[in-house]
Amino acid sequence: MKQQAPFHISYWFVAILGFMFIQHLLSLEQQVAQIPYSEFEQYLKDGRIDELAVTDRQIEGKLKQPLPGGQSRFVTTRIDPQLAEELKQYPVRYSGKVESTLLRDLLSWTLPALMFFGLWLFLLKRIGGGLGGGMMQIGKSKAKVYVETDMKVTFADVAGVDEAKDELKEIVDFLRDPETHGRLGGRMPKGVLLVGPPGTGKTLLARAVAGEAKVPFFSISGSEFVEMFVGVGAARVRDLFEQARAQAPAIIFIDELDALGRARGVGPLGGGHDEKEQTLNQLLVELDGFDTSAGLVLLAATNRPEILDPALLRAGRFDRQVLVDRPDKIGRVQILEVHLKKARLAPDVDPQQIAALTPGFTGADLANLVNEAALLATRRKAEAVTMEDFTAAIERIVAGLEKRNRLLNPREREVVAHHEMGHALVAMALPGVDPVHKVSIIPRGMGALGYTIQRPTEDRFLMTREELEDKMAVLLGGRAAEWLVYSQLSTGAANDLAKVTEIARAMVTRYGMSKRLGHVTLEREQNSYLGVEQMYGLPARHEYGEATATAIDEEVQAIVEEAFERTLGLLRERRELLERCAKRLLEEETLDAEELAEMVGAPKPKQLA
């Protein structure tokens, strides 16, 4: 209150001065008499005026003797002299009146000023909107803050990543009861980095941690720190951590950390004064001063850990790295059970069968699959979603949208039918190969004129040389069938050849499966952890000479040629079956596993478990 006293005294002082000024004006007004112009002329004729002061609008003067009111000074408004001469002829009292132009004068300069000020505010708001809410708010953090009542997500809503949940449950326990979990001297990890492919549920896991811990949750993307002005990102990092400390215990979640934490000094823009590097430096400083006893936890997510700066990942900053990988079959079943609760299902829908048909699908892919199946059932006005809808949705996601309007000439349809049946028959002839689920010559997607879908019986993590050779044989089945039937080759096998060549080169350069080159690795894996040589599109380094490069090319070519000859031999033995199945495929356009087994004479496929 003492600091505000001088301001109150100044207000009183200004008020007193204003009152005195107004009183002075009133007193001056009382001392000057306003008289009509006709009286002024009469006073002038009578000789009662002592002095005059003439302006363009009025006449001021002093009388020799005061008026009855005591005023000796007067003022009158001038009028046109010709009009005054005419008015003298009549017994009328006349005076001039000055037209007030105050409002017009004010508007003449205030309106342009207001328009300019309004335009300036509009432009400032537009510019400020792109800079984070205004020029004065540019350094403020744009994190979305969710209080404990806003977070409805819990660990029950997250399925298929049990190991990652177990790692994060410890963080929740620390936030709920830090004294009990720190009684043996252990401290809560400063930072937890969630690493995994897109769509595996990293952001959902972070929200579940906040929902379980019942603490405020600060969510922001790494790209929201960086702006066009240097220093803005660092200011936002400071502001974010200050807000979190004020509401501790709390969780800070930075999504897409790779947008902020790229390795410094790499690439053409690796200068030390780069805005991103300053922002990263500030984040490192905040992590160093991070007090876990205050109840703050930093969570971050990325799907590109190999490009992160090593300083971010050292002990004391992101202490724990949690892998959120694609779910296995059991995990896919759990995820499907979560999403299938929202759909009206027919009795034939089995999550086990759907999970067996979707190897490699992430949680986001499975959620999209359930939605696509529900939309397909709605489109055909069904009462419930059936297993056929899920099968059609999987084909749409994997192979693309059906292009029934893409008409092929009869010759092309025959070539495509033999091509696809070549894939299917080779797959059915080789033991241990994923069984064929469906063969079709209906065009799909961008350029596929037909497709053959195989369903794996189980998740595989290791493959032998024989299994890789079988996989190459299946891929070359279409090209071999074209050569066997038409003695010509078409462009339809371009994608198959690319996959076969990639497998053969990996066998030689990465897996050490070449007898000629031996058990050595000649090329590094492109997405190596913290492999900065692969950043910014820089080519991979080859640590071998020209002779070895020539040997690699020759060995790859030999492996592919051997696989093609093997495939061609398998189809020669089944030439009659190939013709018969291709003819049936031309008639039906689509053959499922049971129809294929019946034509080939193989036992019916087992139901997926």
pLDDT digits (tens, 9 = 90+) for 289-314: 666 566 778 888 888 888 888 888 88
Read off the pLDDT band of 1 (50, 70, 90): very low
Tokens of 323: 């892998």
Which is more confident, 54 or 148?
Answer: 54
CB atoms within 10 A of CB 43: 18
> Cα(278)–Cα(292) distance, rounded to whole angstroms?
24
Task: Specify the pLDDT at position 11.
Answer: 65
C-alpha distances (whole Å) from 521 to each of 345, 388, 510, 513, 514 are 50, 45, 5, 10, 10
> Cα(134)–Cα(239) distance, rounded to whole angstroms?
16
> Cα(197)–Cα(368) distance, rounded to whole angstroms?
16
**Residue 202 assigned ligand-binding role:** yes
301, 203 in Cβ contact below 8 A? Answer: yes
Tokens 């007030």 belong to: 100
Least confident of 139-143, 382-386, 454-458: 139-143
Ranges of CATH 1.20.58.760 domains, the chain: 410-600
Instruction: Give whichever of 46-55, 455-464, 581-590 has the largest mean pLDDT.
Output: 581-590
pLDDT over 90 (residue 118):
no
**Residue 55 assigned ligand-binding role:** no
Instruction: Kindly state the average pLDDT of the residues 374-390.
Output: 89
Task: Specify the pLDDT at position 498.
Answer: 93
pLDDT over 90 (residue 140):
no
Quick one: DSSP state of residue 385? B
**Residue 553 assigned ligand-binding role:** no
- 341 burial type by CB count under 10 A (0-12 exposed, 13-18 middle, 19+ buried): exposed
Quick one: DSSP state of residue 327? -
Architecture of domain 410-600: Up-down Bundle (1.20)
Pairing mode, strands 217-221 and 32-34: unpaired
Instruction: Kindly state the average pLDDT of the residues 470-489.
Output: 92
Ranges of CATH 1.10.8.60 domains, the chain: 329-399
pLDDT over 70 (residue 151):
no
Architecture of domain 144-323: 3-Layer(aba) Sandwich (3.40)
Task: Specify the pLDDT at position 607.
Answer: 53
pLDDT over 50 (residue 505):
yes
Catalytic residue among 395, 420, 482, 555: 420
- Beta pairing partners, 106: none
Furthest-apart CA pair in the chain: how many Å? 144
CB atoms within 10 A of CB 199: 18
Task: Specify the pLDDT at position 535.
Answer: 41
C-alpha distances (whole Å) from 383 to each of 192, 372, 374, 380 are 45, 15, 10, 9
3-state SS class at 426: helix
Give the 3-state DSSP-derived string for 452-521, with helices as H, strands as E and coil as C. Answer: EEECCCCCCCCCCHHHHHHHHHHHCHHHHHHHHHHCCCCHHHHHHHHHHHHHHHHHHHCCCCECCCECCC
499, 477 in Cβ contact below 8 A? Answer: no
C-alpha distances (whole Å) from 433 to each of 181, 424, 430, 581 are 50, 11, 6, 20
Choices 3.40.1650.10, 3.30.390.30, 2.40.40.20, 3.30.720.210: CATH for 15-87 = 3.30.720.210
Ranges of CATH 3.40.50.300 domains, the chain: 144-323
Task: Specify the pLDDT at position 530.
Answer: 40
Instruction: Kindly state the average pLDDT of the residues 347-371.
Output: 88
Q: 520, 486, 519, 526: which is closest to 502 by C-alpha?
A: 526
pLDDT over 90 (residue 504):
yes
Read off the pLDDT band of 138 (50, 70, 90): very low
Q: 419, 204, 189: which is closest to 324 by C-alpha?
A: 204
> Cα(395)–Cα(389) distance, rounded to whole angstroms?
10
Task: Specify the pLDDT at position 559.
Answer: 94
CATH code of domain 329-399: 1.10.8.60
Instruction: Kindly state the average pLDDT of the residues 104-129.
Output: 71
322, 195 in Cβ contact below 8 A? Answer: yes
**Residue 196 assigned ligand-binding role:** yes
Tokens of 22: 């107004």
170 is catalytic: no
**Residue 423 assigned ligand-binding role:** yes
Task: Specify the pLDDT at position 565.
Answer: 94
**Residue 496 assigned ligand-binding role:** yes
Ranges of CATH 3.30.720.210 domains, the chain: 15-87
Q: Dihedral sign, CA of 122, 126, 127, 131?
A: positive
Q: Where are the alpha helices (DSSP H) in 54-191?
A: 81-87, 102-130, 162-176, 178-181
- Where residue 400 falls (left for φ over 0; alpha for ψ -120 to 50; beta otherwise) is left
Q: What pTM was estimated for this model as a whole? A: 0.67
Q: Which residue type is seen at 535?
A: M
